């Protein structure tokens, strides 16, 4: 009986990261990305934005108030690549 318990205990840590990643992906599919991890502000031309590290969504950034403004959006370039792939 102890051998079975020891085998289960040593096998469990190897399975847990895979299980958590699967649960995380399933949750993201159901509820969408929450945009928790955001990049630092980037400026390109006259636009300043921050990007979600997980999904690539962007949100405008106001340098004077030092805060994000408006809603999330995806760059037109990403939409163009998606449209060509279809």
pTM over 0.75: no
Least reliable range by pLDDT among 48-52, 54-58, 73-77: 73-77
Q: How many domains does the chain divide into?
A: 2
- Residue 85 is predicted with a pLDDT of 46
Query: DSSP labels for 61-80?
Result: EETTTTEE-S--B--HHHHH
Please state, in angstroms and rounded to a whole number, the distance separating the CA atoms of residues 63 and 58: 15
Host domain of residue 11:
1-32
- Residue 10 is predicted with a pLDDT of 53
Question: Rg of the chain's alpha carbons, rounded to an integer?
Answer: 20
Q: Are residues 82 and 52 part of one domain? A: yes
Q: Are residues 55 and 74 part of one domain? A: yes
Q: Check whether 42 has a pLDDT greater than 80.
A: yes
């Amino acid at each position: 009986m102890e051998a079975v318990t020891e085998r289960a205990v040593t096998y469990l840590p190897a399975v847990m990261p895979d299980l958590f990643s699967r649960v995380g992906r399933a949750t993201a599919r159901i509820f969408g990305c929450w945009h928790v991890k955001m990049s630092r502000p980037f400026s390109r031309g006259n636009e300043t934005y921050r990007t979600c590290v997980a999904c690539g969504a962007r949100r405008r950034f106001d340098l004077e108030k030092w805060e994000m403004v408006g809603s999330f959006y995806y760059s037109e370039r990403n939409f163009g690549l998606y449209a060509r792939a279809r």
